Amino acid sequence: MSHKKPSVSAPKQDEPPPDFAKALELAKQAMSYISKFRTPPTPAIYQLWYRYTEGRNLKLRDELSGIVDADSVSLSQLQEISQRYFPEVDQPEVPQRAASALIHEIEKLQLVVQDQGDAGRKFGQSVNATQEELKRIPIDSRILQQSIERVLASNAQMQARLAETDARLTSSQQQIQSLQRDLHEAQKAMFVDPLTGLGNRRLFDVTIDQIIESATQSRIEEKSHCVLSLLDIDGFKRVNDTFGHAAADRVLQFVAENMQRLAMEASIARLGGDEFAVLHRVESFEQADRLAQELRDFFDGTELTLQPKNLAIGHLTASFGVAVLRGDDDRQSWFDRADKLLYGAKHGGRNQVLCEPALGR
């Protein structure tokens, strides 16, 4: 029995595969949104619009559809949404390690240059000492005179080169110090929410891991307790829809400023949107509940008016979920308990604090 080989037609080189054509169309649509809202085409912003046009992430599409329908969006909004959905785009660990390594190499280079400068100065001092000794020798021959002249000329050249090297060293040191400051500021910026100046979700994750590790190693939880409070502004969408994104940003800044004022010893972060986190230590259950209640009372009792347009926002209310660190907690389990309590406060009437019934339980 004979078998025929199935005929296989080679793909035409000039025709891109269907997936390429689809991806290209999605890319064009993503760029049209970038152009429409005049947002910078960074990798994070581009991916956000690309995934929106792709439509696979229904939650993301619903959230961005509201922005598209409103025909208004701020860069800080898009950055915050991107951080929530695609935190891996920024890859902060890589530039942070690279920056640290670069600083280390610069410091090593600086030491080498300083050592070379010191060696040159010592050589100059040695030549000067020889010069002084030769000056004291009686000149009684032509050869000695020529030697002295050569040493003097060499010394003059060395001094000129040393002066030039010192000037270049000073300039290099200033440039290195400036670069170190720039790198330090860049590292800090990776952990700061640009709108409120609070720590961002990235810093929150680092801080909560450090707290858990410290509590595990030192058993400090036996004397004091680590508390995580999650705060969500009630009805914040109304502020966006009624007063616009600029006013909503001002409200978030107001919330952040007063949280810092009322909780000076706590670590506060903006997790995204209108959700904030407060990390602090307490010695009793009453203290765990008290700070959240003070924050809730302040916002509920404050009539907020934004200047200079005299926009009457009214009273802000907020819901809180408060969870205490347990001995077997990791970051996720601790956060999940606080988040469930926050969810209960939101759906139980809002403008309230739900705290775990007892410390360590």
Enter the pTM of the model.
Answer: 0.55
- Check if the beta carbon of residue 261 is closer than 8 Å to that of residue 298: no
Could you tell me if 348 and 217 lie in one domain? yes
Domain count along the chain:
3
Residue 268, Cα to own-chain centre: how many angstroms? 14
Domain that holds residue 339: 201-355
Which of 138, 163, 189 is a domain's end point? Answer: 189
pLDDT tens for the chain, 361 residues long, are: 444 433 333 444 444 444 666 777 777 788 788 878 877 667 778 788 888 888 888 888 888 887 787 777 777 778 778 877 776 544 444 455 555 555 555 565 566 566 556 656 666 666 666 566 556 556 556 656 666 666 666 667 667 766 766 666 666 666 666 666 665 666 666 788 888 989 888 889 888 888 888 777 665 445 678 899 999 999 888 888 888 888 889 999 999 999 999 988 889 999 988 999 999 988 877 787 889 999 999 999 988 887 777 778 888 899 999 999 988 888 899 999 999 999 999 998 899 999 886 444 4
228: tokens are 């995580």
Q: Which two tokens stand for residue 350?
A: 């809002």
Would 10 be classed as within a structural domain? no
Looking at the structure, do residues 127 and 218 belong to the same domain, yes or no? no
Residue 361 located in a structural domain = no
CA-closest candidate to residue 128, choices 162, 145, 151:
151
Asked if residue 185 and residue 108 are part of one domain, the reply reads yes
Residues 168 and 299 in one domain: no
Q: What angle do CA 295, 324, 267 make, to 5 degrees?
A: 50
Q: Is the Cβ–Cβ distance between 55 and 61 less than 8 Å?
A: yes
Q: What is the dihedral of CA 281, 282, 287, 290, to 10 degrees?
A: 0
Nearest to 156 by CA among 128, 120, 118: 128
The CATH number for 269's domain is: 3.30.70.270
Residues 208 and 295 occupy one common structural domain? yes
**Is 323 a member of any domain?**
yes
Q: Same domain for 145 and 270?
A: no
Domain check: are 97 and 76 in the same one? no
